[in-house]
Amino acid sequence: MSRLLLVRHGITEFNSARRFAGYSDVELSAAGYRQVERLRDRLVGDKIDAVYSSDLRRALVTAEVISSGHKVDIVTCPELREVNYGNVEGLTFEEISRLYPEVAESLTNFSHRLKFPGGEGFEELVERASKFLDKLKRHMPSQTMLIVSHSGPLRVLMCRLLGIDLRHWRQFRLDNASLSIVETYPQGAIVSLLNDTAHLRGVDE
């Protein structure tokens, strides 16, 4: 059995303001640092054999803080980046609705053909994030891997690992600094923990 610790990065000012942050390399907010410190403390006693992270700062810093108590290098992976929102980077949904109503409609109704002007489409995100799974094949079945990324890629990985249709992509809720655990076996994968944020009780946003 391989054990995958799937972590969404800590909260940012963009998250707090509900602004779309894809390739925008925003930093963790002060609350985000407190969140990932709590998650570090939660995982300090866990065995972690490898750490993979998106190369965007909010994810990479999250990975650095969590893995600080473990003697393991962080492998940065551009394929774990959030979707490139293109022209709608930094906008709120209300602003997108006003400036790009067709994009807002696609977001609301969710179409696999969703394409962000000047950025990526959903199918491009799926193809990119799915390539990451090849890296996991090089590990022994008994190892535990920490994967720090963003909501979009992590949900793609969940669908791929569980072998379910990507139309269920939006049915996974992954909050900032949440921990999900997927155990992989030759017969398939099992979710043993999903979107757990018990370690964040008392942390102000």
Whether 9 is a known active-site residue: answer: yes
Whether 199 is a known active-site residue: answer: no
CB 184 within 8 A of CB 14: no
**Side-by-side strand order, sheet with 50-53:** 74-76, 50-53, 144-149, 2-8, 179-185, 188-196
CB 148 within 8 A of CB 112: no
The one catalytic residue in 13, 27, 37, 82 is 82
CB 175 within 8 A of CB 195: yes
Tokens 């969140």 -> residue: 35
Determine the Cα–Cα distance for residues 167 and 181; give it in Å rounded to an integer: 21
Q: Per the structure block, which two tokens stand in for 185? A: 């076996």
The one catalytic residue in 9, 120, 150, 199 is 9
Residues marked as catalytic: 9, 82
